[in-house]
Amino acid sequence: MQRELSQRFVDVAPDVRLWVESRGPADAPPLLLVMGAQASGLGWPEELVELLAAHHRVIRYDHRDTGRSTWSFDRKPYALPELAEDAVAVLDALGVERAHVVGMSLGGMLAQLLLADHPDRLLSATLIGAGALSTRPYAGPDGELTPVGELPGVDPRLVALWSEPAEERDLEAELDRRVEHWRLLSGGLIPFDAEAARELERRIVRHTGHHATSTAHARASTAGMERTGELAVNRVPTLVVAAPAEPVYPPPHAAHLAQVIGAARLVTIPGMGHALPREVHGPLAAAILEHTTAAVR
C-alpha cells in the first residue's frame, strides 16, 4: 500500500478553516484522531501516530482556536457540540464516508456526540480520558447506584492550575506552565519526563506560530451535550480506555462510560493517566488496532 503524508486546510464554517494532516497508506481504513480541549492535533505523539499509521490512514487536525486553525471564538463564539460537527466536516472534505474515531478527553466527548448523532459515519470509536454524556447513574460492583454528580472529581491541583487567570508570559515561562500541566495530567504512576513534555510543547509552538494560549473551549457553551438515550442504543463497536492514574476523570468514570454506551467494552492501560507518554504508546496502539481490526470483520 502506498504511504502518504499530506497537510491541507478545510473550511468548516464561514471564515473558519481547520489544519488537517493525513498519513499512512492511502487506501487503508481511515482513522480520525480527535484531541482534547485547547489542544492542537500535534498533541497526538508522533510515535503513537506512526504505530497507528502502519495499518490506517490516520487523520488528525487542529480544533478551532488551536494550532494553525482559525482562532475565532472571541469574534464569533460557538458551542462545544459544533466541534463534533467540525469532525464530520473534516471527513467530508477528505472524501471519507466512514472512519474509526479515537477521541481523547474533550475529543472523547465529541466522539460520543458522533456515536449519538452520526453513527453512520463511524466504523468504531475509542474513548480515552472522557466523562459520559449521560445522566445514567454508575452501577458499582455491588450493584449500588451512584449519581453521576457524586463520582470522583478532578484532582484539586489541576483545578487550581486551571483557575489561574490567563496572562501573557514569555516563551520559557509559558513552557514551564505547560510542562507543569502535563506533570499533573500524567497521574504519577509512570515517571514523568519533563524534557519530553517540553519538546512536545516546543513543537506545538513552532506549528502554531506563537505561544498564546486560548481559553475558548473552557468558555464555550456545553448546552445540548447530554445523550443518555442515544448512547444506550449505540451499536457502533466502542472501546473505552481505563487509566488507573487518571486525574481528570478518575476511576470509576471509565467503567461508568462503558456502562452507558451500548456495544462498549473496557480495556485498562497500566500506569496511564490523562496523558500519552512514551510508555503507553505500544499498549495503547495495540488495544486500538485490535479493536479496529475486530470492528470490521
Domains plus CATH for the chain?
3-154+216-295 (3.40.50.1820)
Residue 166: the pLDDT is: 79
User: Please, is 79 exposed, middle or buried when counting C-beta atoms within 10 Å of its C-beta (0-12, 13-18, 19+)?
Assistant: middle
Q: Compute and round to an integer the Cα radius of gyration of the chain.
A: 18
Q: DSSP of 177-225, one letter per residue?
A: HHHHHHHHHH-SSSPP-HHHHHHHHHHHHHHHTS-----HHHHSB-TT-
User: Which pLDDT belongs to residue 3?
Assistant: 63
pLDDT tens per residue, range 194-206: 999 999 999 999 9
Tell me the pairing of strands 264-268 and 145-146: unpaired
**Residue numbers of the chain with a pLDDT score lower than 70:** 1-3
pLDDT score of 1: 47
Which residues partner with 3 through β-bridges? Answer: 25
